[in-house]
Each structure stands twice: as structure tokens, then as C-alpha cells.
Chains A and B, each alone.
Chain A
């Protein structure tokens, strides 16, 4: 555990003291992220890892996902998705405390309690009684604390991230009270990963062949989605083209 702690502290410290995130002023957003030139110093490595990920996905993960989607009826798929999402509610609650969002923290805990008692988390009963799900994670907590995103990275098997968000994921993995209480937590992590892959299956199918540069496309989509979780008026603040007379 001590060794793990050292790794976490190292990643966080690197994340805090890394060089500035972006160097283009062309299209700046409120969160300070330029979509045009995202800080990507290890692009050649990232591209290789992305190709590797697509290769693994093609030969192993995609067939599993497609078979699962073919066999599992929609309610089962939804139930599994709800189950894994429910397991994350306690760690979301912790993240919200660090963000000073105490109402959302209580809401997450309440949702976990209600959904676990009523259906082991497979049915989102809490939403039906007005306790809506709020997404967050440690990466967002760090971002709200002023930590810049750091270099863009593609993690083998896992996918796109950046140093800040990946650090958040590592911290979450070790401090998550629910996952830690499982005897074989690796299986939970694999199950959760596969479930997340199922959820983005349609989008991934559309990305394949839709772009001249899928690496750039995935990077842009990743940052847009993260910014949407960080900015209040994300849609309003997105860059728009200058208007020319048509």
C-alpha cells in the first residue's frame, strides 16, 4: 500500500507542477483549453498506443461487446450499466465533498442507498423519486482545484486521458470504498471497463472511417466531453465560426 501511495503522490505532484497546458490563443474557452492545439508532447507514442488499442479492440474486445449486445436484451444491458454506475456513487460522494458540493455529495450517497436496497443498483429508482444522477470524478475535483490538465495521454487498453484525469483515476482506484471491499476487485474493474466500452460502442463505430485522422478526432471529442463536465455554460461558450455573407 505504501508503494501505491508513493506512486499516487508522484503522479499528483507531477500534475501540479507541469508546464502550461496550451500555447495557442486562437480558440480559447472558459476553462482555458484550446481545442486547436491541445498540449500533446508525446503524440508519436500516443498514436502508437491508439493503434495498439484499436488492434486489441478489433481482435478481442469488440467481438465480446458485439456478442454481448446481440445476446443481452435491452433491460439487462441497462441493468448492468446501472449496477456499475451505482458502485461509483460513494466515490462520487467523496469527490463532491472535496469540491465543496455538499448537497450533491448527500444526493450521491442517498442514491446509492436507495438503489442498492431496492434493486442492488440495477434499477435507478432514485432518479424516479427526483434524485438525479450527477457525474463527477477525481479528475474533475483536481480541475476545479485549479490543476491544469497536463499532457494528453492514451493509456493502453483504457483509452484517451490526460495526466490530471489519469491521476484522478489512479487515486479513485485505490481509495474507492466499494471496490476496495470486493475480494477480487480486478474483476470489478474489468467488468466496469467492459461496460464503459459497451456504452460507447455506437460512437466508436461512427468514429471508425469517419475521419482522415481518427487520433485528432478522438482527442478533440475527449476534451470537449471533459470541458462539458467542467463548464457551466459549455454549449454557449463553444467556439463558433466568424459569419461571412453566404
Chain B
């Protein structure tokens, strides 16, 4: 019985430790993100580089990009196509975040809660400016060496789910052609 209690307390303290680690990471990166949003004094290309660094450092780009097209498309595509797709998608993700950040001035991102389900951390935060506030959820994985974002949910709208619907539609319309999807993404 005592052993069970010890094991139980070890598990509890381990998960608390992980939650505090992810909270610490989140506080640091969200502050950095706010700094990027609020310091737009550089040239457009300089600002873009800052977002590029932030996205490459914090997003699980390969997992998101692969997840959006599904395994069957990955299997039927060539290595060159996949590599080009990853590059184009990365650029698209950076531009999306760049545009969203440019259309709003955020004064704070406050961490509300951290939950864990199936090894995925669900970080609940609140983003607000002078006028309004919104719930912002981040789904994050621990890769061992760092934490990486796999989805961002603003209020109830998931980036991953929304983009998956759009990409699937393009793929279906073009009989699963990854090349066609790449062209469509480049057009945006």
C-alpha cells in the first residue's frame, strides 16, 4: 500500500513538473511573440524574418503539414514534391501569422490553465487588447528537446481543422494532386 502511495505521488509530482515546464516555456515564448507584434519598426523583410524565426522555432511544421494532407497523399507523392510542399507550407504559415499579427495590436497574452490529454498539452490563454479579449488555446507536444505547437484554436476555431478542410477540398478537386495544392497555396 505504501509503495502504491509513493508511486502515485511520484506520478503526480512528475506531471506537475511537466505542466510547470510547459507553462514556463509558454510564458517565455508568448512574451517574445508580443514583442514581435508590438515592435514593427523594422522594414517589412526584417519583421518577416522575426516571424520566420519564431514559427520555425516553435511550430511542429512537419507534423502539421503532413497532417493536413494525410498519409495516402504522402505515400503517393515523390520526395521532391513533399519537400517543396513543406517549404511552401512553412512560408504560408509564416505569412498567415504575420498577417494576423499585423491586423491586431495585442497588449497581453495571459496563461489561464494547462491540461494534458494523450501526451498533448492544451494551454488555455486569453489574448486581449484595449478593445476586446478572446480565448486562445494552444496544443503543444514535448519533442524531448523542446515544446512544439501543433494547433492554435482561437475561440472555437482550430487552425488545423480549418486548413485541413480547405486542403482536402483542393486535393479532392484535383484527384489528390499535391502539385495542384502547392500551386493553390502559392496563390494565396
Contact = CB atoms under 8 A, between A and B. Distances in A.
A39 to B, nearest CB: 13
Given A211-B188, A220-B161, A236-B115, A241 B166 contact: no
B89 interface: no
Interface stretch (B17-25, B46-54, B151-159): B151-159
Specify the main secondary structure of chain A where it touches its partner.
loop
Contacts of B124: 235
Contact of A241 (B64, B117, B165, B187): B64
A245 B66 CA distance: 11
Interface in B122-171: 122, 124, 131, 137, 139, 141, 143, 148, 150-151, 153, 155-158, 160-162, 164-166, 168-170
Most buried by B among A36, A38, A216, A243: A243
Contacts of A234: 156
Interface residues of B, number: 45
Interface string A209-246: 01111001101110011011000001110111111111
A241 B139 CA distance: 10
B165 A217 contact: yes
A217 B166 contact: yes
Interface in B168-188: 168-170, 184-185, 187-188
Contact of A246 (B60, B117, B162, B185): B60
- Counting chain B CB atoms within 10 Å of each CB, which of A221, A238, A245 scores highest? A238
Interface of A: 26-27, 35-38, 74, 205-206, 210-213, 216-217, 219-221, 224-225, 227-228, 234-236, 238-246
17 contacts: A35-B165, A206-B100, A210-B96, A210-B99, A212-B188, A213-B166, A220-B161, A221-B162, A224-B156, A224-B158, A228-B156, A241-B67, A243-B141, A246-B61, A246-B63, A246-B143, A246-B148
